[in-house]
Amino acid sequence: MTEQSTATTPVIVVGVGPEEVDSALAFAAEEAIRARCGLHLVHAVHVSPPGPENPLLTAVDVEKWGREVLGLAVKRAEDMVDGAVPVTHELHRGAPVHVLVEAGRAARMVVLEHRHLSRLSRIVNRTVAGGVAARLAVPVVAVPSGWTPTDGPKVVVAGVDVPERSDEVLRTAVAEAHARGASLKVVHAWSWPAYDAEATSYGDERRRWSERSRAEVRAALDRLGDESVAMEADVEVHPGRVIEAILGAAEGADLLVIGRHDPLVPVGSHIGPVARAVLREAACPVLLANPRPHRAVYHP
């Protein structure tokens, strides 16, 4: 069953799961109103073969339940946008990753909600967010359950791994910061060979590595061609683990932008260990950007 708009303007797609998706809807509704585009809710119902665990559950029952879940989400979305943008919806049979990938190919953005789960649950749950992000070129945003939009100054954080290969991640972060009227913070973590902690040159060596790393990030910002961004961006460089550096810098942020594929790895293989860890732990919405160049424009 499909009930969707025939408009050609890219919409923001929201994946509706069996549990509450209010945080994802709140983020997507704000984005749709800002971008003046439609909001499209997608729900996948997966019908398992009859067996001892579901002897009485039929495909008709599953689809009816799915339609009810989707209907409640549509009502919440309509209340959030209050007529400012159209809300459409779509129900499909099939695996969630496949359904959302197909629905999101021509989207402006795909928004999903994620929960901080036990280790075992993460292994099962991450396949949806990770699977969708690994297969789409458009931005995929994971919104943690319980997140709500904040008042006050807006901040967009970009997590940069290798500055020389971060142009698209930075370009996406800059666009998101401009769209929100937010300041931009860029964080990069570096590590150096083990040194003797008693060596007198330790402090000097650390400063040299920090200065070099900061210069590499500034050079990446300069390549974007936006002088105001290069001058105004807050650049943080840290020795140590990149995951802790990114999560620390993103505390209280409105959005965290990170890359989801290493450019040297074929698209569709994985989202990467850093992206997985940040997605699992972040308290703010995480935009998984495609570090490969693409033609889509996400903000007017």
pTM, full prediction: 0.83
CB 24 within 8 A of CB 14: yes
Amino acid at residue number 172: T
DSSP, collapsed to helix, strand or coil, labels residue 141 as strand
Read off the tokens for 247. 């999560």
Does domain 155-289 fall under CATH 3.40.1160.10? My reply is: no
Which residues are within 8 A (CB) of 56 and not within 5 positions of it... i.e. 6 or more apart? none
Domain ranges of the chain: 2-144, 155-289
Token pair in block for residue 187: 């964080």
Chain mean pLDDT for the chain: 82
What would the mean pLDDT of 206-234 be, rounded to a whole number? Answer: 85
Fold held by 2-144:
Rossmann fold (3.40.50)
Predicted local distance difference test score (pLDDT) of residue 14: 97
**Closest alpha carbon to 189 in 261, 241, 257:** 241
Percentage of the chain exceeding pLDDT 70: 77
Q: How far apart are CA 86 and CA 78, in angstroms?
A: 8
Determine the Cα–Cα distance for residues 127 and 118; give it in Å rounded to an integer: 15
Each residue's pLDDT tens digit, 21-45? 999 999 999 999 999 999 999 999 8
Banded model confidence at residue 149, pLDDT cuts 50, 70, 90: confident
Mean pLDDT on 111-126: 62
pLDDT exceeds cutoff 60 at 298: no
Q: Are domains 2-144 and 155-289 of this chain identical in fold?
A: yes
Neighbours of 17 (CB within 10 A): 18
Q: What is the phi/psi pair of residue 106, to 5°?
A: -105, 15
Average pLDDT over residues 161-174: 90
Planar angle of CA 9, 135, 124, nearest 5 degrees: 120
Dump pLDDT digits (tens) for 58-115: 667 778 889 999 999 999 999 999 999 999 999 999 999 999 999 999 999 999 998 7
How confident is residue 124, by pLDDT bands cut at 50, 70 and 90? very low
